Amino acid sequence: MKISIIIPFDNPKKDIEKTIRFIDAQNIVAGQYELIIVSSLEDEKAKSRLMEIEEKAPDIVAIVNVPEDISRAQLLNTGMEYSSGDYIMFVRAGDAINVHLLQNACKLIDDVQPELISYEMTFAHDKFDMFEDDPISYEDFRHLTFSDVSEKKAFLMGGNVNDSFLCHIYSKALIEDVGVKFEDEAKDEDMVFAYPLFLLAESISFTKDHGYCAYVDDDKENLINRITGRMAAQTRLLELLLGTGELYDTYKDVIDAHFVKEYFIKNLKLARGSCLELELPLPTFEVMQYVTLNLVPKWIENDYLFGLDRDDRKLMLLVNEKFESAKTLNDRLKENAFISVITATYNRCDRIKESIECILRQSYQYFEYIIVDDGSEDETERVVKSFDDPRIKFIKNSENRGLCYSRNVGIRETSGRYVVCQDDDDYCRLDKLEKTLNVFMSLSDDYGMVYCESINHARRLAGNTEAPAIIIPAREMSDVRKSGYIFPALLSRNFITSTAALMRKDYMEEVGLYDEELFAYEDWDIYLRISRKYEVAFVREPLYDYYQRSGTLISNKDSEHRSKVLKSLYEIDQKFVEDRKKYSIETSFKVGEG
């Protein structure tokens, strides 16, 4: 058994060496994989870089040089032609695969021989250097062998796998049997390579954990080009499937629903998440309406579209609505979807730049960003003001007043429906706002907060690369305690990091903002107050990266500091004494004992 890893290399700015380091870190033997780099670069420096990679592992690495004007799709197709492995996967130069991915894949192939191995993708700042800590394990993979059409349909519409061609390891025999290839016109994120294979695969192993990390710089594609590109790619996919006869007839309801979700609903979400000054043109929307209604004139009769969540259904209802202008259309799309991001900072000029960039590079761009400088004495103000972005509002306190005071200053300046905090020395994944907001938009007004998993990278920062990273909340914790009415579970201990939650601003104001008397654990306090009155939703995916360093709140060993922390814990404990009694939860705070 051998896996062929294909890397197209057509941009010398991409850090292909980083990609190779993540592949080299895989815990598998050399004979289990080959690395095929297909390069269209004529630059001598780039050729020298590739030669150096090949010389380090000549038995594993093969460099295939092709003409400079060749397309990305042709690079990928050429890689498949040169592959000799039983399985094939694709990695973009500069991106990374989870250091445990191939070890798990090899075990899956040995044990169950799946035709597809699927995993999720995360998007990160190009300077993020902790992807090694993302969890992925053999035990978290599910394996399905499809015995009938109904099982396959349920799987396809269950949102279990990512459509991106980068999120799968493919049986080469399956690719050859289906005869699928990449098309020249499509962009990487929209190439419709994998979906036909989903329909025809007889077995698949999949996980919702991150097997792939796409590193993102500050280049942004034009919104309209992205939407029209996706429209074209999905149209080509539908035309391909319409031509398959029996296959389309068998899966018609699933294929139609998939097309509508990708072509109509997801493109509307792209438009919703664009900057305020960007609009979805009315003629483009009307084309989307016409094509969608031509395929599913009575969409409500499709069971898979009938089962859309609250947000998708609301967007789907626009398919029959007429708008007088692009402005009225876009105002409707962006209704109740504005996010306010707040960063409170103090003397962090050396770290805040990347933290700010993590927000500005979000896939969801419809936000304002309020940065409150709590009386810094370093170059923090200069760093913040170096960003030429109208969404940033800078406020500087006349003196150092503390985290809670500064966050409250920011909240009072916000105009968004939702509030989320970003610490000044951490990273977050670049789809954090999009994923948490999409969940929120699908929920009723009974929900006051949506939060995600966080990764505490303290162990790796301290030099311990063997122990697994700390996932918050812990994966071992029962899922039933992580969402819904979580107040009793949260009373026992805090399992939500301070920047993991997207909160309704009006509900925050209702229960009270951050308690400015607290020196620490202010996040636990406000989460308790929100969850006591409202439901809470959970995204089981690490979207925030907590860089716990020495001297921070948790690790600081100064006696005065620790005394203030304990005082805060005691004050929080006293606020919820009666609630603890209701749920028979004893306080863990014993004063005067020992």
259 CB-contact burial (10 Å; exposed 0-12 / middle 13-18 / buried 19+)? buried
**Residue with structure tokens 């990266």?**
545
pLDDT of residue 549: 66
CA distances from 165 to 117, 124, 168, 300 (A): 11, 18, 6, 30
Reduce the DSSP state of residue 175 to 3 states and report it. Answer: helix
Distance, in Å, from the CA atom of 178 to the CA atom of 161, rounded to the nearest integer, reads: 19
* pLDDT, one tens digit for every residue, the chain (594 residues): 999 999 999 999 999 999 999 999 999 987 899 999 999 999 999 999 999 999 999 999 999 999 999 999 999 999 999 999 999 999 999 999 999 999 999 999 999 999 999 999 999 999 999 999 999 999 999 999 999 999 999 999 888 899 999 999 999 999 999 999 998 766 666 678 999 999 999 999 999 999 999 999 876 767 888 899 899 999 999 999 999 999 999 999 999 999 999 999 999 999 999 988 889 999 999 999 999 999 999 999 999 999 999 999 999 999 999 999 999 999 999 999 999 999 999 999 999 999 999 999 999 999 999 999 999 999 999 999 999 999 999 999 999 999 999 999 999 999 999 999 999 999 999 999 999 999 999 999 999 999 999 999 999 999 898 889 999 999 999 999 999 999 999 999 999 999 999 999 999 999 999 999 999 999 999 999 999 999 999 999 999 999 886 655 555 567 888 889 999 999 999 999 999 999 999 886 654 443
Q: Comparing C-alpha atoms, which of 94, 90, 91 is closest to residue 16?
A: 94
Instruction: Please state the separation of Cα 340 from the chain's center in Å.
Output: 19
Reduce the DSSP state of residue 579 to 3 states and report it. Answer: helix
Please report the domains of the chain, with CATH numbers, ordered by start residue.
Answer: 3-218 (3.90.550.10), 233-334 (no CATH), 339-583 (3.90.550.10)
**Residue with structure tokens 């997207």?**
502
Q: Name the pairing type of β-strands 116-125 and 203-216.
A: parallel
DSSP for 220-282?
---HHHHHHHHHHHHHHHHHHHHTTTHHHHHTHHHHHHHHHIIIIIHHHHHHHTS-TT----H
Distance separating the N- and C-terminal Cα atoms of the chain: 61
Distance, in Å, from the CA atom of 66 to the CA atom of 58, rounded to the nearest integer, reads: 19
pLDDT of residue 187: 66
* pTM listed for this prediction: 0.94
Q: Name the pairing type of β-strands 3-9 and 33-39.
A: parallel
Distance, in Å, from the CA atom of 165 to the CA atom of 116, rounded to the nearest integer, reads: 11
Q: Peptide bond preceding 135: is omega within 30 degrees of 0, i.e. cis?
A: no
Check: CB of residue 269 under 8 Å from CB of residue 288: no
Distance, in Å, from the CA atom of 360 to the CA atom of 217, rounded to the nearest integer, reads: 11
Q: What are phi and psi of 486, to 5 degrees?
A: -95, 0
DSSP code at position 392: E
Per-residue b or e along 503-514, where b marks 16 or more CB atoms closer than 10 Å to that residue's CB: bbbebbeebebb
Q: Comparing C-alpha atoms, which of 367, 376, 368 is closest to residue 345?
A: 376
pLDDT of residue 320: 97
The residue type found at 228 is T
The token duo for 196 is 């036909």
Distance, in Å, from the CA atom of 191 to the CA atom of 346, rounded to the nearest integer, reads: 44
Distance, in Å, from the CA atom of 203 to the CA atom of 198, rounded to the nearest integer, reads: 9
Distance, in Å, from the CA atom of 286 to the CA atom of 267, rounded to the nearest integer, reads: 13
Cβ count within 10 A of residue 379: 14
Angle, helices 149-156 vs 252-260, to 10°: value is 10
